[in-house]
Structure 1
Amino acid sequence: MKKLMAVVCLSLSVNLFSFEEIKGIGERECGAAVKKGVTHPQFATYKMNCETFEHVIGSWYKDKENVYFYKDNNSMYIGFEVIDGINPETVKPLGEKSQIYYMSDGKNIYIQRGFYMDGIIENANIKKFEILENGYSKDNKKVYYLSKELKNFDIKTFRSYPEMIRSSVEYNAKDKNNYYRDGRIVKLK
């Protein structure tokens, strides 16, 4: 029954007797769904171009007109949201670490954690941008925790640590001056 309810939530116009499970959100939502005659109300709402619709990274997708974020709305309904102000021709994935996804439009960096868009880093040096562990990142001048710029850091000595170390210590990043936990300076006991 759970599978049937999920199908109904995602596409009300599916013929339940001939429906075949389609793997992959991107394929299900556009390419394969259209080929199999499955329609989704979101296609009409956003006028998605299925011929150019493609996965970028994480929950980000694009077609020739828009960039979309596939989001969770209180764990009840998943759907697309158009992200305004992004040129789909310049969008590219930057990578993923610690289940946090990074995408750039050439000017800004967009961050996804879980099903949520977690923020935007504006005007980072994308050519020098480096994704670190546990939500930390840096360019040649600044260090970030998700989209928040850290203060009082030493960029040359700044390091973050993998998740397995994080659970056994009080900090998950450090530099020569401070220890950090989730973007905040912490004092060690």
Structure 2
Amino acid sequence: MNALFLAAAEEPQNPLVPHPDELVIGLIAFVIVFGFLAKKLLPNINRVLEERRAAIEGGIEKADAAQSEAQSVLEQYKAQLAEARHEAARLRQEAQEQGAALIAEMRAEGQRQREEIVAAGHAQIEADRKQAAQALRQDVGKLATDLAGKIVGESLEDVARQSRTIDRFLDELEEKAEAAR
């Protein structure tokens, strides 16, 4: 073997092939560094990676939970909004119905008041007509008796006779007026 080493030592050394002693020392140093890193650094790296993985998974779970909660709240708000719109439409319809009923009621009340006013007006006109007819009857009677007294030449002061004469005269006038219609 020595001869092999001597032969190798005599040959020019290839720069790409390391010397066997350096190769052994480098291998031992690599194993020591790798062992140190595996014992000390690798558990820390694995722990940090595990914490990051847990944080990411927890964040994803929290985001999913928040998203599902937000979706649930959105659906609740949509349902409440639809219910509020329905309620508003119902209230609007109810208000329109109440308004129509109130208008109809006010029209009926106005019609009733108008009829009362018209009836009161007719009653007042009838009372005024009767009063005017009575006053006219008295005035016409007085004029007729005065005229008849001047024609006959005697006074017709007897109230009973005067009243009968006036009534008869006016009744005849009314009959003639009714017949003319």
Shorter-chain TM-score above 0.5: no
TM-score (normalised: structure 2): 0.16
TM-score (normalised: structure 1): 0.16
Asked which structure has the greater CA Rg, the reply is 2
Greater share of helix: 2
